[in-house]
Every structure is written in structure tokens, then in C-alpha cells.
Structure 1
Amino acid sequence: MSDAILGQVALGYSPFIDRNRAVTATRLTVFPLRPDATLDAAQLLEAVGSVWPADGARVSLNVASESLLSDLMKTELATNVMIEVPAFMAGDPVNVEPLLALHKHGNVMLLKGRPLKELPREVLPCFKYSIIDLADDRRATEGPHAPAGAARSIPHVQSGVGSVAEMEASFNRGAAAVLGWPIDDAVSSSMANGKKAGQTDLQVIVELINRVDKQEPIEKLEGTLKRDPSLAFKLMRYINSPAFGLSVEISSFRHAIMMLGYQRLKRWLALLLATASKDTNLKPVMFAAVRRGLLMEELVRSSGDDEMRNEMFICGVFSLLDRMFKQPFSELMRTIPVPQRVYQALVDGSGPYQPYFDLVKSVEGESLFDFKSAADNLMMSVGEINRAQLRALTSAADLD
């Protein structure tokens, strides 16, 4: 039933990140491909429920269609579904009753944008948070000289944050969370603080990847892994997660190699490498890397080429390693063995995987124009891309 709407909209996603740098919810942005299209709210909710069931994690719907959003506001939603409501709609008397009903039902609502006029008195308590873009935040641009009108009546979430420094400044100004991917200066910020990005852990995993790439005896691989038992536990947890889809439980590293083989094991070592850092500021980077890998893999699932799928997964997962290791890819790839097509995408920004990488970044950036352009370059249908996104987000939820 939900398939029809997946061909009528472009989807994008981004995380809500709290003060502990933990991801507390996912924002799903929905752009209609045609402004005049009639979109089915029930179909959208069915698609959303396939990834975020009622007893699952929280999702915030950012819907760029007034008619579709109006229909959603009149629907009984699962309580883990949050709704972002533009200020002009929140101030419309026709929406008072639906907003009150959603609030009474227990749904979290977020006020998006600055109201041009005072909201109806009974509506304001319906909103748990306001979403304030960094570019429009008078407290950020005017500092202590911000006008009295910049006072907050409800807690706020800061959007438009593109760096760790901006994220930290937003929290210092009282933001309850930031919305987006603050990864641009994660490397320089971590270096400025004198922190190591879990370097010992990373070196052990890099050594393992090299040994697996050479298909060394199991005894040598086990000896390397025993240097850090916590990594062994994490690897076993990943392999036994629902996302991996094995019918039997893997009980040891030796068992993993026997069941998986060296090539399939390498992709999960890649995932382990991308999530091994203990630097708090790198949590959003790790979160992004996992989703990139899963989405790139899903984009080529229908190709029937297992080698390509595995390489795309590694390409996405490794795409932020330069931030974790604080080294350019041209240096990193001298020590970490990767296939040639992955090397081209990460080091040279070229090759057959680069267009897929561009598509992933358009999804993360929630940019309709870039989404359409990347889809056209790949000659992929919007529905195919959206289905890949939902499968990837489901697998990510299983890993989380």
C-alpha cells in the first residue's frame, strides 16, 4: 500500500542529537515531487511504521506539503511519531482542534519557524519544542545584545548546525538538542581538545582488517583480537544482530570466520572500525558512517552483484574515517586495504561509486534539488531510492 507514495516524494533524514551527543530521534523529511500532487497520509504512515513501529524509536515528520501535513494532523498517530508544524499553520484557527487532539493523545509537536503573530493561547502548550535555525537565531547573531523578543517561551532545538563548534555553542545557549549532521569540523575540534580518537582500538582493528585481507590463519587473527576483549564483544554483537540475518548464533571469532568467510567478515570489521572511537564529539560521525554504509549497499541491492554491495558498504562506512583518524584519505588508504573502486571514491572523488556517494549526501542534506540531480545521474527512480532508504534505516535500527 505504501509503495505508491514512495514514488511521489523525495525522502531525507537527519538526527536529533542531545547534549551527551546521543541520537535521540530521527527526522524524516518528506518533499512532494509535484506541488499539486494529492498524497495519501495513510500510505506515508505505513511506510514510516515499517521503520519506526509504535513500540520503536522516535521519528519526527518534517513534511513540506501543507495538505499532507494537514491530513496527518487529523490522524491518530503512534505516540513515537513527532510532528513538525510550521508557525503559519500553528497560528491558523482551523488547526487548533487537530493540534489539541494530538497533544491530548501524547504526540510530541515541534513549532518550526518564528511566528509572525501571537499563537492562539490554547495552542502554545501543545508544543514541547520550537525548532530555531542557527541563521535565524538572534541569540547567536547578536549575543548578549539580543532583543527582549528573543526570549524563549518553550525549549528549543537548533537546526542548521554544521560543525561541532556550532553544536557546542548551541548547547551553551540552552538548546535541548541540535538537528542535523555536525561533522564538518569534528576532526579539528577533537585535535584542539587534545583528544585521541580511540587510537589504540582503531589500530587493532586496522591490523585485523589487514590480516583478514591476506586471509591469514585463524590463530593469528584470534591473537590480534584478544589484545582488546571489548572489541571482540562488540564484533560478536554486530554479527549476531538482526541486521546481519544469520539463522544461527555466532559464538566465537573462529566460528564467525567459519560461517562467514574472510570477505564477509571484512565488511563487519569495517563497521567496527567506523564505530570504535571513544571521542564523544565523534558520536554523530559514527552514526552517519553506519547509515551511509547501509544506504550505499541498499542502493545496489537489486544489481545481484555481491562484490559491489560489499564494496559499497565499505565505501560508505569508511567515508568519515578521515575525521576519526585525523588524517587525509590519501594517507589512510596506505595502511587500510580497500578495493580500487572504494579508493577512487574516497581518495580521488571519482569512479563508479562517486555518484552513489553524491546521492547519499543529498539525502543527508535533505535537499530536493540535489536529490533529483543525483537520481537523474544514476538513472534511478525515486521510489527505488526511497525504498533503499527505508531498508537501510531499518537495518540501522536493528544495529542500534
Structure 2
Amino acid sequence: MRFDFFRRPGSKGEVAVDELVRAVAPGASEASPEAALLEEAQAKGYVSYALQLDAQMRVQGLRFAWRDASGGADASARCRALVECIAKHLNPPKGWRLGRLAVYLDVTVDALFLNELQGLPPENVVLCMGMDDLADPDTRSMLLFLREQGFGFMLRDPKTLPQDPELLEIVTHLDVGAGDPALITEARKGEPTGRAPIQLVATRMNGWDDFEACAEQCVDVLVEGRQAPPVKEVGELQPESILIVRLMQMLKRNENVRSIEAALKRDVALTYRLLRHINSPAIGVGVEVTSLRHAVAMLGYQPLFRWLSLLLATSNRASSHFMMKRAIMRGRFVELMGQGMLPASESDNLFVVGMFSLIDRLLGVPMKEVLEKVQLTESVQQAILSREGVYAPFLSLVEACETDNGDAPRLAEALFVSAGQVNAAHLSAMVWSQEASAIETA
């Protein structure tokens, strides 16, 4: 997939957020009650997610959910709306867009028969169901069929392991709540031999002590958007961060290319990453660039500032991988939400607003101290520090989607954007962050 880090809205091939949503064809004159519920759920529902983290806080997957703002959709309609949204934006005809990440979907029995669900890559999808649905004899043949195709199944909220040997063979993942020690012990002692171990996943976390306890047991944890690890205060910027900040200051002062080249030469690793980036197929300059001066000239100051902001967010090696990923995703999400509403020239500022809203947590340095050094524009600082100004509504909407606090419908309405537009931008940012973090943190 093409990595369009520097592609600008309005350029050839660029898709604005309102164009990410396919126009809905006129339906039948009289829809069934089920169809009406689905249409309502799709029109007023928002995607939310939790990140699956391993013991090293690396992202291994995502558990998606559907938040129905209308309050009128039943579980079946919500489930179908979620599956169709995931299929549309993450599994288009060109192929699966989330790489190796696992995707967890809470599904109803009737969702098992959806073409959209069966069209997802089975090796990446874990279907989450309760014991009543999994143990229903009428669904057994479909469960066995899907398991044979490669889909995983997580037993949700169990009190114990299933006693049915056939059902135990279907279950690939087990929900262990907040890391229930008794359930973890039972699961590891009672799982069948001759097959891959059942993966244990803590689906709730009351605090980061729970995470640490699960990490000691090698149990992955689902972390929601409102949950963030304690900030590791470092007191001052790390050496790599200082150099990146200095380069950003030079760009803001519009210093000449020769001076920027001299500063870059002080860090071999940074030089290598810049040259690797400018020579990547995504940039497509057409000729091999081997000199720093040529690289800076080819890239341009604004795109270089944007790239440095991403590097700054990932420069503290003590920061957790998933918080870096969250910052990258937020930057892109804010940028996509502003496309079509603000001039194309504001694209980089929107991205920086999203990224820098988490920079203090990533660097372990107070926000005001970072902003004093980087010297961002007043409007960008307003959005970051006080959620005011022209960029603030976009940042607030993105934060509402991430934290799943219920404010997304109101904030989206204030910006005159639909739930479909928000979901399209959200999932697109998720895909983009997967690609960006893979390249820039390598």
C-alpha cells in the first residue's frame, strides 16, 4: 500500500474525508424493521476500540466496538453495522489494511453468516462470543466451519473453561477479566494438548497495577483510549530529542539549507533515516538522493518539519510503543478531520496539533517546556494548551472518539460532519499510523 505521508489534499490521488464515505444508494421504498434499525445504527454509530498490548506494551491487536448514538439499535444491528464498517474501510478490494494486527469483534450469532464477516482475513480476526452462543447446538456447525477457515474465537466472560471437548477445540482465546489468577491457572492446566495454547487476554484493567500483574503472567491486556500509563518524568529532553528540536527551530527561523545540513550531520542515525525516507518509493523523487543538502531541498521545509515532529514523538526510547502509536494516529486523525474544512495549507498544522497534544507524555517533559523550545504558532499552541482556536474543535472531536466519552455526536454535529465521515477518518488514521510507525520507529 502506498505510504502517502507527504501527499497533500487536492493533489492527484488524494481523498478528502468526505470522499472516504461511499454514497448510499437509495433503498427500497419500504424497509423492513431490521433494515431500518441497521440504517439508524450506521447513520448514528461511532467506532471505538481498545488496543491489545503485550507485556512490553507493544500493540498486537485491536478490539472494536460500535457506539450507537441513537440508542435505538439492538445488538444485532450494532454488530452488523460494525462488521460492515470494518469490512468497508479495513478490507477493501485491494486487500487487508492492518497488516499482522489481530482484530477482535464482539459478534452475535446471526453475524456469523454475514458475507462481510466471512470475507475478512480469518488469520487476523478473533470473534468474541459468550458461552450461551458458543454452546448452542444450532450454531456448532457454523462455528466449526469458521474455525476451519482460520477464524479465532474468544470465550467472553467465562466462569470456567468449557467441559465440551469439541467446544474447547473451537476456543482459541480466553477472556480472563482483569487478570483473574484462578482462571489463568485453570486455563493453563486444563487446555487440550496437541494444539496451539489458548491465548489469555485481560479485557478489563482497573489500573496499571493490573497491567503489571498480567505482564508477569504473560497475559495480553486490552487498554482503552482513556487509559494511559503513568508518565516517566525524565526532567529534561534526551540528546536525540534536543537535536530534533534544534532542527525544528531552524526550520521555523527559515535558516538556509547549508546550516540545516550541518546540524543534521551531527547525528548519523538521523541522517540515515532522512536519506532512507527521501529515497523510499512513497516519496518517489525518481533519482537516488545521497547528499543531505539535496535531501532537504527535495523534501521542503514544511514536510521536513512534519517529519521531525513525528521523529520527536518517537525519540524517547523509554516511552511506551503504544503511546507513540496513539500519538501518530491522533495526528493523522486530526489532519483528516480538518481536510475540506480548512485550507490545504493547514494540513501540517493539524497533524502537529494532534501529535503534540501527547508530546509531554511521550517525552516525560512538561508541555509548556516543550512548546517553549519548539516555538509553534500561537494558534497551534492554543489548541494544545487550552483547546481553543481554529484547530481545537477537530482535536476535541478526535479525543472524544479515542476516549469513547459520549461527546463525539455533539462535537461532530458542531462541525457538520456525519458519523460515517468520522468513522472513515478514524479507521484511515489507524491504517496510516500502522504504516508510519513501522517506517519511522524502525
Please, what TM-score do these two structures have when normalized by structure 2?
0.75
Contact 2:250 2:260 in 1 (8 A): yes
After superposition, the Cα gap between the structure-2 partners of 1:76 and 1:353, relative to the gap in structure 1 and judged at 3 Å, is closer
Q: Work out the CA distance in 2 between the residues paired with 1:131 and 1:117.
A: 10
Paired residues of 2:249 and 2:375 also in contact (CA < 8 A): yes
Aligned-partner residue type, residue 185 of structure 1:
P
**Residue from 40, 47, 53 that aligns with 1:11:** 47
> Separation in 2 of the partners of 1:341 and 1:162?
37
Deviations 1:122-162 (A, max 9, x none): 1222222223342xx444xxxxxx6x797335431123347
- Report the Cα distance in structure 2 between the residues aligned to 1:298 and 1:16, rounded to whole angstroms: 25
* Structure 1 residue 295 displacement after superposition: 0.8
- The alignment's C-alpha RMSD in Å is 3.4
CA 1:334 to 1:328, structure 2 compared with 1: closer, same or farther past 3 Å? Answer: same
Name the residue aligned to 2:60: 24
Would the aligned equivalents of 1:85 and 1:111 in 2 still touch at CA under 8 Å?
yes
Q: Is the 8 A contact 1:181 1:284 kept in 2?
A: no
Counterpart pick for 1:298 among 329, 332, 336: 336
Give the 5 Å matches for 1:360-379.
Answer: 360-366=398-404, 369-379=406-416
Give per-residue Cα distances to partners, 1:49-102, cap 9 Å, x unaligned: 139618932341424766445636972541343133231432333332222112
Give me the whole-angstrom Cα distance separating, in 2, the residues matched to 1:197 and 1:69.
52
Tell me how far apart the structure 1 counterparts of residues 235 and 207 of structure 2 sit (CA, whole Å): 19
C-alpha contact (below 8 Å) 1:290/1:317 kept by paired residues: yes
- Aligned residue identity for 1:326: G
> Which SS does the other structure have where 2:114 is aligned?
helix
Q: How does 1:1-400 map to 2 (within 5 A)?
A: 3=22, 4=24, 7=43, 9-32=45-68, 34-36=72-74, 37=77, 39=80, 44-50=86-92, 53=96, 56-63=99-106, 67-68=110-111, 71=114, 75=118, 77-87=120-130, 88-114=132-158, 118=162, 120-134=164-178, 137-139=179-181, 151-153=186-188, 154-161=198-205, 165-180=209-224, 184-187=228-231, 190-191=232-233, 199-239=238-278, 246=284, 248=286, 251=289, 252-279=291-318, 281-303=319-341, 305-366=343-404, 369-399=406-436, 400=438
State the Cα distance separating 1:200 from its structure 2 match: 0.8
CA distance in 1, matches of 2:214, 2:287: 44
Aligned residues of 1:62 and 1:83 also touching (Cα < 8 A): yes
CA offset digits 1:8-43 (Å, max 9, x no partner): 642123432222332222333334555154847566
Secondary structure of the equivalent of 1:152? helix
**CA apart distance, 1:240:** 5.3
Q: Secondary structure at the match of 2:49?
A: strand
Alignment partner of 1:384: what SS? helix
Distance 1:366 1:32 in 2: 11
Structure 1 position 219, deviation (Å): 1.7
- How big is each residue's C-alpha offset from its partner over 1:291-350, in whole Å with a ceiling of 9 and x where there is no partner? 111111111122351232211100111122112332221222111111222211222233
How much has 1:167 moved relative to structure 2? 2.5
Gaps of 5+ in 2: 1-19, 25-38, 189-197
2:176, 2:184 within 8 Å by CA — same for their partners in 1? no
Distance in 1, Cα, partners of 2:245 & 2:287:
25
Inter-partner Cα distance in structure 1 for 2:45 and 2:389? 29
In 1, the alpha carbon distance for the partners of 2:123 and 2:161 equals 30
Pair 1:174–1:320, CA change in 2 (3 A): same
Q: Which amino acid aligns with 1:106?
A: G
Partner Cα distance (1:239, 1:149) in 2: 48
Residues 252-283 of structure 1 deviation map (CA, whole Å, 9 limit, x = unaligned): 4423332332122211111111111211x521
Give identity over the alignment, percent.
24
Amino acid aligned to 2:187: R
Cα offset for 1:395? 2.1
Q: Is the 8 A contact 1:315 1:342 kept in 2?
A: yes
In structure 1, C-alpha distance between the alignment counterparts of 2:210 and 2:310, rounded to whole Å: 28
Distance in 1 between the 2:117 and 2:417 partners? 34
SS in structure 1 opposite 2:433?
Answer: helix
Task: Specify the SS of the correspondent of 1:223.
Answer: helix
Contact 1:274 1:286 in 2 (8 A): yes
**Residues 97 and 431, structure 2, Cα contact 8 Å, conserved in 1:** no
Q: Compute the TM-score of the two structures, normalised by the length of structure 1.
A: 0.82
Q: Which moved more, 1:84-93 or 1:223-232?
A: 84-93
Contact 1:289 1:316 in 2 (8 A): yes
| Counterparts of 1:86 and 1:345, CA distance in 2 | 41
Partner AA of 2:297 in structure 1: M
Q: Is the 8 A contact 1:358 1:374 kept in 2?
A: yes
Give the AA of the match of 2:435: D
Structure 1: distance between partners of 2:274 and 2:396: 29
Q: 1:364 and 1:253, CA in 2 relative to 1: closer, same or farther beyond 3 A? A: farther
Alpha-carbon displacement from aligned partner over 1:338-382 (angstroms, at most 9, x marks no partner): 122221122223333333222222322345x23323323333101
Based on CA coordinates, which of the two structures has the bigger radius of gyration? 2
Quote the offset at 1:288 in angstroms.
Answer: 0.7
